[in-house]
Structure 1
Amino acid sequence: MTAVINKHYARPGLFLCVLLLAACASVPENPPEPVELPDQFSASGSANPELPDAWWTAFDDGELNQLVETALNGNLSLRASYQRLLQARALADRQGAGLLPSLDATASAETRESDTAQTDSFSAGLNASYELDLWGRVQSLTEAEELRAAASQADYQAAAVSLSGEIASTWFQLVEQRAQLALARSQLETNQNVLTVIESRFSMGQSGSADVLRQRQLVSASTERLINIQGEISVLQNQLAVLLGQSPGKANLPDEQSLPALPPLPDTGVPAELVQRRPDLQQAWRVVQAADQDLAAAISNRFPRISIEASVSSQANDASDLFDNWLATLAGNLLVPLIDGGERRADVRRSEAVLEALIQEYGQSVLTAIREVEDALAREQQQKQRLASLEQRIGYADTAYRQLRNQYLNGAVSYIEVLNALQEKQDLQRNILNTRQQLLTTRVALYRALAGRIEDSQDKDRKESNEA
C-alpha cells in the first residue's frame, strides 16, 4: 500500500529516486480491501428494496420517526460532534493558507521633541512572503488537514447513526415495558380472581390452606412485578429524554404500548459495498490517508526550503509626503538541513510507523463491521426460531391450564398442578413480549451495521448556505 523508502536516501545519488518514491508513496483515494472479504453475507432479503439512509423508517413507526428526527436536531453530544467537525474544517482552512503568499501592511507615526524643535516621522509599508513548495511539503500538510476534516465529517455521520440506533433500541424497550405493564396488570387480575375462587373453596372445606397460601404468594409476586416494571419504565423514559436533548421528566414522549411488526429482511448487499458505505469505515480510511500525507511531509522536510520575501516602504516627515517616495526590497532565503542529530530521519520513521498502525487498525475495523452484520443476521435467525417455539408453547400451555383448572374444580387433580400450569403460561406470555422486543432490537443492530450517511438539519442548513 505504501512505497518502502530507503533509509539512506540522503545520499545525493538517490535524491531523484527519493522524490519519485515520495510521490508514489500514497494510499489510493477509495479504500481497498485490506483483508480478504467474503463474496456475500450469509443472508439477504434480495427481493426487498435497499435500506434507506433513514433506516428507522423501515419500521413504519410514526412515533419512532419523530423521536429520531428530534434527537438528530437536539442531542447535545451530536451537536458537540458537529462543532468538532467545524473545528477540523477551520484547521484545514488555516493550513491551506500556507499555499498562498502572505501580505502584511504596516504603518507608524513618531514624534521627537528636543529643546529647540519637534520632529515628526511617518512610515508605511507592505511586506509579502511566500514559500516555494518545491517538494510538496506544504501541499501534503494541507491535504492531511483536509483529509482529517473529511474524517471528522464521517465521524459526525457515524455519531448520527449510533444515536438513531440508541433511540430506536431504547424506544422499543420502553414500548415493551409498557406492554409488559399491561400484561402484568392482566395477570394480577387473573391471579386475584383465582385467589377468590380458592378462598371460597377453602371456606367450604373443598381446598386446603396451602392452596390459599400458594395463590396469595403468586398474587404478591405479581404485585412486585408491577412495581419493578414501573421503575424500569421511568428509567427508560429518562434515558430517552436525555437522548432527545431534553431534561428527564420534561420530555413529551408518545404513549405507544404495542410493538411494531418486524419489517422484511433488507438487501444486505455485499461486504465490499459495506466498506464503501459505512461512515465509521470512511472515517478510519480518511485518517489513514491523512497519515500518508504526514509521511510525505516528513520526507519533504529533509530537503532544502526556498522562501521569497518582498517589501515596499515609504518614510516622510510630513504625512502629506508619505507616499511620494517608495523603497522596494526583494530577498530570497534558502534553508538547507545539515545536522539535526537525526531528528528529521526519526520523524520519518515515526510517520511510517503511524501510517502502518492505522492501516492495520483500518483492517480490523473492516473485519469488525463484517462481523457485526453476520452477528445480527445470526441472532435474528435464532430469535425468530425461539419466537415461533414460544408461540407454539403458549397454545399448549393455555390449553393445559384450562383443562387442569376444570379438573381441579371437579376434584380430580391437586391445586399445585394448576398453579404450575398458570405460572408457566404467564411466564411464556412475558417471554414472548421480551423476545419480540429483542428481535426488533437485533434488527436495529443490523440496520446500524448496514447504515450509510444520514442527512440531518445540520447538513441541510449547510447545503442551503452553500447554494445561497
Structure 2
Amino acid sequence: MKTLHLVISELSALRHIFRLGQMSLITLLAACASPYQPEYTQPAVPEKEAWKASIPDSQDVIRPDWWAGFEDAYLNQLVDQAVAGDYDLKLLATRIEIAAAAAGVERANALPKFSPDASKRFQRDPTGDSDTYSLSFSSSWELDVWGRVQKGIESKESEFRATEADWVAGYLKLVADVSSKYFEIRKLDRQIEQQKKSIEQNDKILAIYQFQIAEGLVSKSKVLQQEAEAFSKHKELLEFKRQRDVAENQLATLLGVPSGEFNVPTDVTQNEIVIPAVPVGLPSTLLSRRPDIIAQEYRVLAAYQLLGQAKLEKLPKFSLTADGGVSSNTLSQLLNKWSLGLAPSVSIPIFDKSISANIRSNEAQVKLAEDQYRQTVIKAFEEVETTLVNIASRKEQRNSLLLQVENLEVVNRNTNTQLKEGLVSQLEVFEVERTLLSAKQSVLDVDQQILADTVKLYKALGGGWSETDIR
C-alpha cells in the first residue's frame, strides 16, 4: 500500500520530468518556425479624416434614451413595449445564453476529468459462493503547457462578447425601426387630413364648373378634367389609408403584437414633435461606439485566437492519467487495500498533415473576418455621411417649401379680400387654396424625411452606448 507521502513524491518527480521535457522540446523546436502568434492588433481600415457635412467638434456622448429627445410620450411607450415584446431581440438574447454556455463548456473541458465507479460482483464456483466489492476511479488531464487550451477558451469568450454586441446592435435597430415607423404613421395621418381638405376644395371647384356648364360658360371638357382630378385625389386618399394600415401592422410586429390587434390612435399623432439636435462626436469615436463594428472585431479576435490554437497543435501534448481503487470480499474491509496508478504521456504530432490544413483553414477564416470588419466600417462611414447629407439637404428643401407656403398664404389672404370686393371669382379662391394645400403636403413629406433621417443618424452613430475597447 502506497502512503500519501510516497504519492506526493511521485507527483513531484513527474513535474520535474515534464519541465525537463519541455526545455528539451523548446530547444528542439527553436530551429523551426515559431508556432506562437504576435499580439493581436486591430485590423487596418481606411481612415476618415473629415465629413462633407458640418459636424460639431464635440465629445458629448449621445444620451442612452435618445428617442426621448423627440419629446413624444407615446413614442417612449412604444419603445418600452417593443423592447419587452420584440422576438428578434429575444432571439439575440438567447444567442447570448448559448454563447455563454459554449464558453462554459470550453472552460470545463480544460479541467481534469474524474470518473468514479462502484460495483458488487457475485460469483458461484465449486468452492462456493463469493461477493466482491470494488470502488475505482479514473482521471485524465491534458496539461496546457503551451496555452493551446487557453486559446480555445479565449475564442469562445470573444464570441460571447460578440453576441452581446449583437444584442446592443439589435436593440438600437429595434428602437430606430419603431421610431421611424411611428413617424411614418404620424405623417400619413396628417396627409390623410390634408388630402380630405384638398378633396373638399376640389369638390367645390367641380360644383362651380358644373353650374357654369349649365349656364354655357365653360365646356364639358373642363368638368370632365375636374372630375378626373377628383378621382385621382380619392385614389391618393385610399393609398394613404392603405399605407397607414400596412405601417401599423409592421409596427405591431415590432411590438410583438399580432397584426390587426394594434392601432395607433389618431389623436396622439396630431401633437407637434421636437426635432432634437444630435450631439455628434468626432469621427474617430465612431469605430468604438457602433455595436455592429464592435461585434465584428470580436469575431476577428475569436478567429485569430482559433488560428493561434491551430498553430499550437504542432507542439507535443502532455497529459496525465490516473487510476486507482479499492476492492474486498467484505464491505468492512473495503478501505484497507487500495491502489493508485499515475501515467504521464506525451503525444508528438510529427506526421499529422491535418494540422497544416487546419492552420490554412483558420488563416482563411481570419482573413474573412478581417474583410467583414473592414466592410462593416466602410458601410458605417457611408451611413453617417449619407444621413448627414440628407439631413442638410432636406432642411434646405424645407426652408424653401416654408417660404412657398408663406407666399401662398399671402396670396390666399389677398384673393379672399379681392373676392369680397368682387374682383375675383370663388373659383380663383379655391384654386389658390388647393395649391396651398398641395404645398403643405410637400412640407409634411420633408418633415417626415427629416425625422426619419435623424433617427438613422442616431443609429448610424451607435446610439448612446459608451465606448468599448476589446484590446
TM-score, L = length of structure 2? 0.84
Letter in 1 for 2:395: K
Q: Which runs of 5+ in 1 are unaligned?
A: 1-10, 456-468
Aligned equivalent of 1:131, options 124, 142, 161: 142
Q: Tell me whether 1:221 sits opposite 2:235 in the alignment.
A: no
SS at match of 1:331: strand
Distance (Å, rounded) in 2 between the aligned partners of 1:128 and 1:142 = 21
Distance (Å, rounded) in 1 between the aligned partners of 2:412 and 2:181 = 35
Distance (Å, rounded) in 1 between the aligned partners of 2:285 and 2:407 = 46
Does the 8 Å contact 1:41/1:268 carry over to 2? no
Q: Tell me whether 1:176 sits opposite 2:184 in the alignment.
A: no
Q: Which runs of 5+ in 2 are unaligned?
A: 1-24, 467-471
Does the 8 Å contact 2:319/2:346 carry over to 1? yes
Distance (Å, rounded) in 2 between the aligned partners of 1:368 and 1:172 = 25
Distance (Å, rounded) in 2 between the aligned partners of 1:82 and 1:69 = 16
Distance (Å, rounded) in 2 between the aligned partners of 1:428 and 1:411 = 25
Counterpart in the other structure of 2:455? 444
| Equivalences for residues 47-446 of structure 1 within 5 A | 50-114=61-125, 117-251=128-262, 253-255=264-266, 256-258=268-270, 260-340=272-352, 342-400=353-411, 424-446=435-457
Change (3 A) 1:145 1:18: farther
Q: Please list the CA deviations of residues 321-377 of structure 1 after superposition, one character each: whole Å capped at 9, or x if unmatched.
A: 33332111111111111212x321222222223213322321222222122111111
Does the 8 Å contact 1:40/1:269 carry over to 2? no
Does the 8 Å contact 1:313/1:328 carry over to 2? yes
Letter in 1 for 2:307: L
Q: Please list the CA deviations of residues 270-294 of structure 1 after superposition, one character each: whole Å capped at 9, or x if unmatched.
A: 2221111111111011111111111
Percent identity between the two aligned chains? 27
Letter in 2 for 1:449: A
Does the 8 Å contact 1:305/1:334 carry over to 2? yes
Change (3 A) 1:253 1:326: farther
SS at match of 2:436: helix
Larger Rg: 2
Letter in 2 for 1:192: D
Residue 106 of structure 1 deviates from its aligned partner by 1.4
Does the 8 Å contact 1:49/1:266 carry over to 2? no
Does the 8 Å contact 2:205/2:430 carry over to 1? no
Does the 8 Å contact 1:50/1:266 carry over to 2? no
Does the 8 Å contact 1:55/1:451 carry over to 2? no
TM-score, L = length of structure 1? 0.85
Counterpart in the other structure of 2:40? 27
Change (3 A) 1:266 1:313: same
Distance (Å, rounded) in 1 between the aligned partners of 2:259 and 2:367 = 45
SS at match of 1:119: strand
Q: Please list the CA deviations of residues 367-424 of structure 1 after superposition, one character each: whole Å capped at 9, or x if unmatched.
A: 22122111111000010011111111223344556767868x9697997x88875654
Does the 8 Å contact 1:45/1:266 carry over to 2? no
RMSD of the TM alignment (CA)?
A: 3.1
Does the 8 Å contact 1:46/1:266 carry over to 2? no
Change (3 A) 1:213 1:336: same
Counterpart in the other structure of 2:29? 15
Residue 213 of structure 1 deviates from its aligned partner by 2.9
Does the 8 Å contact 1:299/1:348 carry over to 2? yes
Distance (Å, rounded) in 1 between the aligned partners of 2:414 and 2:431 = 13
Does the 8 Å contact 1:63/1:254 carry over to 2? no
Distance (Å, rounded) in 1 between the aligned partners of 2:129 and 2:251 = 76
Distance (Å, rounded) in 1 between the aligned partners of 2:292 and 2:203 = 53
